[in-house]
């Protein structure tokens, strides 16, 4: 997947403990990781771990629908 255990730990904390969605994860991680990753790279990490993508499409896995935002 291309992520370290430390990065996955941060994702798990944001998603489960702080109950962040993709956008709030992005804003927090850009602030936290901004010294060594660009905002585009942070967005790609979020793409890999959620079903939200940078082009603002969302796949509802339960119903099999694709929603364009």
User: Any idea where the domains of the chain sit in the sequence?
Assistant: 5-68
Alpha-carbon gap, residue 31 to 58, rounded angstroms: 24
pLDDT reported for residue 36:
87
Decide: helix, strand or coil at residue 31: helix
pLDDT digits (tens, 9 = 90+) for 16-69: 899 888 888 888 999 998 888 888 888 888 877 776 554 554 445 555 554 444
Strands (DSSP E) along the chain, which ranges? 57-60, 65-68
- What φ, ψ does residue 12 adopt, rounded to 5°? -60, -40
Decide: helix, strand or coil at residue 52: strand
Q: Name residue 67's beta-bridge partners.
A: 58
pLDDT reported for residue 68:
45
pLDDT reported for residue 69:
42
pLDDT reported for residue 64:
53
pLDDT reported for residue 23:
86
């Amino acid at each position: 997947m291309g992520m370290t255990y430390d990065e996955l730990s941060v994702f798990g904390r944001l998603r489960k403990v702080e109950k962040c969605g993709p956008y709030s994860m992005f804003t927090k991680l850009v602030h936290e990781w901004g010294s060594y990753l660009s905002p585009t790279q942070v967005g790609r990490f979020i793409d890999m771990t959620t079903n939200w993508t940078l082009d603002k499409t969302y796949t509802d896995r339960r119903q099999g629908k694709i929603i364009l935002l």
